[in-house]
Amino acid sequence: MTIDWQAFTPWTSLLGGALIGLAAAAFVLLNGRIAGISGIVGGLLTPKKGDTGWRLAFVGGMVAAPLLWLLVSSLPVIQIDASFPMLVIAGLVVGVSTRFGAGCTSGHGVCGISRLSPRSLIATGAFMLSGFATVFIIRHLLGGL
């Protein structure tokens, strides 16, 4: 294994992570809820009375984040190399499986591990493993797609 020291951003990643943790902390302490993005978004598809507003507010905050950022500075690089067909496949797979698996990087990865939940520890291990395997297959066995 070789480390890409040029790409490595320890301080901003640690700081950004702490902000993500702070957001999850505020959400659970103020609203009593888990900041799990796939669950919050997924619940919008089966709307129940009194259960939609907070979801839209949270999602609205996330979408508004880059706009707030732009008031202060130019946005950091967002480089998306995947082709359009690949993005459609990836989106479908992420949509179906995060609902089956009851969470994603935020709900299981951040909140679940912070709760020391056995389900989330297993889930996080599983998606990390298949994420590593998928990128290995695409980049090193198939030569990139």
Partner 1 sequence: MNKSLLSAFIAGLIFGIGLLVSGMANPEKVLGFLDLAGPWDPSLALVMGGAVAVGLIAFNLAGKRQTSLLGDVMRLPTRRDIDKPLVLGSLGFGIGWGLAGFCPGPALVALGAGELKALVFTVAMLLGMAIYELLQRQRPV
Q: How far is it, in rounded angstroms, from Cα 82 to Cα 23? A: 29
> Could you tell me the smallest distance in angstroms from the CB atom of residue 125 to partner 1?
8
In the chain, the amino acid numbered 56 is: L
Instruction: Return the number of the residue (2 or 49) whose C-beta is nearest partner 1.
Output: 2
Q: Single out the residue of 16, 48, 71, 143 in contact with partner 1 (rule: CB under 8 A).
A: 16
Residues 18-77 that bind partner 1 (CB under 8 A): 18-35, 37-38, 41-42, 45-46, 53-55, 57-69, 75-77
In whole angstroms, what is the distance from residue 70 CA to residue 67 CA? 5
What's the closest the beta carbon of residue 100 comes to partner 1, in angstroms? 3
96-128 as b/e, with b when 16 or more CB fall inside 10 Å? eebbebbbbbbbbbbbbeeeebeebeebbeebe
Work out whether 1 is an interface residue with partner 1 (CB under 8 A).
yes
Looking at residues 95 to 114 of the shown chain, list those that interact with partner 1 (rule: CB under 8 A): 95-106, 108-114
The Cα 82–Cα 7 span in angstroms is 19
Residues in contact with partner 1, counted by CB under 8 A, come to a total of: 112
* Interface with partner 1, residue 142, by CB under 8 A: no
Q: What span, in angstroms and rounded, lies between the C-alpha atoms of 122 and 105?
A: 12
Name the minimum Å distance from CB 49 to partner 1. 15
Nearest approach in angstroms of CB 103 to partner 1 is 8
Instruction: Evaluate whether 42 touches 52 at the Cβ level (below 8 Å).
Output: no
- Is residue 2 close enough to count as binding partner 1 by CB under 8 A? yes
